[in-house]
Amino acid sequence: MFHKEGFKIIGTTLLIATLGLFATDKFVSNAFLQISLYAVLLFFILIVLQFFRNPKRNTKFSDQHIVSPVDGKVVVIEEVFEKEYFKDKRIQISIFMSPINVHVTRYALGGKINFSKYHPGKFLVAWHPKSSEENERTTVVVENKSFGEILYRQIAGALAKRIVNYAQEGMLVEQGADAGFIKFGSRVDLFLPLDSKINVSLNQKVKGAQDIIASLK
């Protein structure tokens, strides 16, 4: 299964690859060069297809816990001052996605969207300390009665040139459902209440909509 945000790119890639195969077959007579070009075109197709894959996940629905919004590696767990929305201290958990990870963003918590804002910006590498404040990004706040409000931030990386965010203020959303997409390299930050019980550790690999990031104490 592939994500709908990749349909145009996948179609364009297949068209270019098909034209490349015909051109190679017609204009390249050297057998070794032909095989090399075929291999390059096939590799190009496979890279695009794997990037836009959208695997089905079995989410354990609960208002008592937070699931990972994306696939990737936990690179930050720390107490910080969140200055855009909460304007107080929160626990930040950051998940870095490499180009080979699934790049679908999923709702970490079910509830009501209280805030959703897009910020244009730079394209620093996703692990840069200032990327969360200076890169292209979106900020979304979801609330339910059990956990209260949590904030997640999609952050574009050096390769990412477009963030897709489906969250709109006032929407009621389901935990684990499709919340958007970040094209070609990125990171997602979660900002949780200070009394949250954190269930992950640094450098741990997590799967979106499946692994539990935090729960209520």
Distance of CA 146 to the CA centre of its chain: 25
pLDDT at 131: 54
Q: What pLDDT is attached to residue 185?
A: 61
Asked if 180 contacts 165 with a C-beta cutoff of 8 angstroms, the reply is yes
Residue extents of the structural domains in the chain: 4-51, 65-216
pLDDT of residue 94: 95
Predicted local distance difference test score (pLDDT) of residue 125: 58
Out of 131, 186, 201, 215, pick the active-site residue.
Answer: 186
Strands 212-216 and 88-97: unpaired
Active site residue 186: yes
- Angle between helix axes 31-51 and 7-27 (nearest 10 degrees) is 180
Starting at the edge strand found earlier in the chain, the sheet holding 196-198 runs 65-67, 212-216, 196-198
pLDDT at 66: 97
CB 34 within 8 A of CB 24: yes
Q: 157: number of CA atoms within 13 Å, CB side?
A: 19
| pLDDT at 202 (0 to 100) | 97
pLDDT for res 6:
74
Question: What pLDDT is recorded for position 10?
Answer: 86
CATH number for the domain whose boundaries are 65-216: 2.70.70
Instruction: Point out which residues pair with 76 in neighbouring strands.
Output: 94
Q: How confident is the model at residue 95, as a pLDDT?
A: 96
pLDDT for res 169: 98
Contact 92, 82 (CB under 8 A): yes
pLDDT by residue, tens only, the chain of 217 residues:
887 887 888 899 999 999 998 898 888 889 899 999 999 999 988 888 877 888 888 899 999 999 999 999 999 999 999 999 999 999 999 999 887 888 899 999 999 999 999 998 765 655 555 556 667 889 999 999 999 999 999 988 655 557 889 999 999 999 999 999 987 668 899 999 999 999 999 999 999 999 999 999 8
